[in-house]
């Protein structure tokens, strides 16, 4: 019998109940903000371990070839006139979202650099490995009112891996994405094209195509409370003239928003959009978000820089605002919940953590398809690499 809370879609999957499976009264984790309002927990300043690039064909390269350089216009005055609709849809090559990449690119980097990790293999055995975007969703969960999430978790050689699963609702929404929303997504990428150059000191070239397969990703190490973290996230650009050229403090996050006029519009912006911007940039330690504000015709008329560590000031006195402490305390509570729930070391066993707004985080247990996400090539390579002088069997046994 499967633990209570297992999604109906999983009923076709045979689940061999492991010895350490969840009890039938499956635990859950509450998400109400008031439960997490304690002091801000310890969060180690993130340090960059390395990077990788994905090219226009979404092929992996273990270098910084896709890194772009922040090159804003010389003035932020009346002359600013970026047409974010230019090139749509003729010069637009969106990534194929039907391809579910999981953690694959990060795992490839990890496989290539596992021997160079500070602290050695023992450090990795106690760490949580995931994408920055997954941690961002956890941070904002206490305040999120619209979109649920599912995170698959597997423990392998001591390490806890977290990989997002697209919810049925998110998939339906993606497949029915209206043309206007598709264009808005393009406009965000187009803004990056106006603000970035291929070389330090170069000039942006907005005449080229917008290809969202291309990405530069930073791989970072941190620690939240007692939980070591190794995560990766896409970086928009680096500022060649930053006060510190040391990553990640030289990185800049680029965003767009519609123009805001009334106090009510600004209040909603600070409560909702700025929370997501803060969470996304706080985690990797990116110090600034530069936002382009577009008019209804799709032209950026003004730029504004939001220092990440000052974003909270905009809602500090708003009783309907958000608290960084609540966000980070909840994320720490989830990591504790996951670490104590996923006890069996088995790359084919998956604990699926599910959450819908207004409810607690629940757990179901699955084996193999469709939820198992650690690829065979990764598991075999890491297993073959195990120092095992006492073992007489071959790694394949």
pLDDT tens digit sequence for 223-241: 999 999 999 999 999 999 9
Q: How far apart are CA 18 and CA 348, in angstroms?
A: 11
**Model confidence over 107-166: pLDDT tens digits?**
999 999 999 898 877 899 999 999 999 999 999 999 999 999 999 999 999 999 999 999
Token pair 């109906």 in the structure block, residue: 8
Angle formed by the axes of helices 132-140 and 324-341, nearest 10°: 120
The Cα 275–Cα 354 span in angstroms is: 22
pLDDT above 50: residue 6: no
Q: Is the model's pLDDT at 11 over the cut of 50?
A: no
Q: Confidence band (pLDDT; 50, 70, 90) for 3?
A: very low
Q: Is residue 21 scored above 60 in pLDDT?
A: no
Nearest Cα to 348, choosing from 165, 154, 159?
A: 154
pLDDT band with cut points at 50, 70 and 90 for residue 26:
low
User: Are the C-beta atoms of residues 80 and 64 closer than 8 Å to each other?
Assistant: no
Report residue 78's pLDDT band, with 50, 70 and 90 as the boundaries. Answer: low
- Whole-number pLDDT of residue 355: 98
The single residue listed with the structure tokens 């065979």 is: 376
**Cα angle value 307/228/143 (rounded, 5°):** 50
Residue 396 has pLDDT above 50, yes or no: no
Q: Which residues contact 159 (CB under 8 A, 6 or more apart)?
A: 124, 125, 126, 127, 128, 129
Residue 366 gets which letter from DSSP?
Answer: E
| pLDDT attached to residue 76 | 60
First and final C-alpha spacing in the chain: 30
pLDDT tens profile 37-51: 999 999 999 999 999
0.85 exceeded by the pTM? Answer: yes
Could you report the per-residue pLDDT of 332-373, keeping only the tens digit for each?
A: 999 999 999 999 999 999 999 999 999 999 999 999 999 999
127 in helix, strand or coil?
Answer: coil
Confidence at residue 1, expressed as pLDDT on a 0 to 100 scale: 41
Q: What is the pLDDT of residues 164-175, one digit of tens each?
A: 999 999 999 999
pLDDT exceeds cutoff 60 at 23: no
> What is the maximum span of the chain, computed from C-alpha positions, in angstroms?
74
Rounded average pLDDT over 182-210? 97
Closest CA to 71 of 175, 192, 171, 217: 192
Give, as one character, the DSSP assignment of residue 4. T
DSSP line for 235-300 = --EE-TT-S--STTTTEEEEEEEE---SHHHHHHIIIIIHHHHHHHHHTTT--EEEEEEE-TTSEE
According to the model, what pLDDT value does residue 75 have? 76
**Which H helix or E strand runs over 367?**
strand 362-367
Confidence of residue 182 (pLDDT cuts 50, 70, 90): very high
Which is nearest to 35 in space by CA: 118, 143, 128, 129?
143
């Amino acid at each position: 019998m499967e633990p209570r809370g297992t999604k109906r879609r999983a009923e076709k999957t045979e689940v061999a109940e492991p010895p350490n499976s969840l009890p039938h009264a499956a635990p859950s984790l509450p998400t109400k903000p008031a439960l997490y309002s304690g002091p801000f927990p310890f969060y180690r300043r993130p340090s960059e371990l390395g990077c990788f690039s994905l090219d226009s064909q979404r092929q992996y390269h273990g270098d910084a070839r896709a890194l772009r350089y922040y090159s804003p216009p010389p003035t932020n005055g009346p002359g600013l006139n970026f047409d974010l609709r230019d090139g749509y849809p003729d010069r637009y090559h969106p990534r194929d979202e039907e391809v579910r990449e999981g953690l694959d690119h990060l795992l490839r980097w990890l496989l290539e650099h596992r021997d160079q990790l500070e602290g050695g293999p023992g450090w990795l055995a106690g760490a949580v490995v995931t994408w920055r975007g997954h941690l961002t969703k956890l941070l904002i969960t206490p305040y999120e009112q619209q979109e649920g999430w599912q995170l698959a978790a597997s423990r392998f050689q001591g390490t806890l891996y977290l990989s997002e699963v697209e919810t049925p609702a998110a998939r339906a929404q993606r497949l029915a994405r209206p043309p206007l929303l598709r264009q808005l997504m393009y406009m965000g990428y187009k803004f990056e094209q106006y603000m970035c150059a291929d070389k330090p000191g170069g000039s942006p070239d907005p005449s080229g195509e917008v290809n969202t397969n291309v990405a530069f990703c930073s791989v970072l190490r941190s620690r939240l409370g007692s939980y070591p973290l190794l995560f990766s996230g896409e970086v928009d650009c680096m500022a060649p003239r930053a006060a510190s050229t040391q990553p990640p403090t030289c990185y800049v996050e680029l965003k767009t928003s519609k123009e805001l006029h009334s106090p009510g519009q600004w209040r909603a912006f600070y409560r909702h959009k700025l929370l997501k911007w803060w969470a996304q940039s706080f985690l990797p330690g990116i110090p600034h978000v530069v936002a382009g504000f577009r008019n209804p015709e799709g032209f950026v008329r003004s730029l504004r820089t939001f220092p990440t560590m000052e974003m909270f000031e905009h809602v500090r006195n708003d009783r309907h605002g958000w608290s960084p402490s609540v966000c980070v305390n909840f994320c720490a509570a989830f990591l504790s919940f996951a670490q104590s729930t996923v006890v069996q070391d088995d790359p084919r066993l998956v604990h699926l953590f599910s959450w819908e707004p207004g409810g607690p985080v629940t757990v179901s247990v699955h084996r193999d398809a469709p939820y198992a996400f650690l690829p065979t090539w990764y598991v075999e390579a890491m297993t073959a690499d195990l120092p095992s002088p006492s073992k007489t069997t071959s790694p394949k046994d």
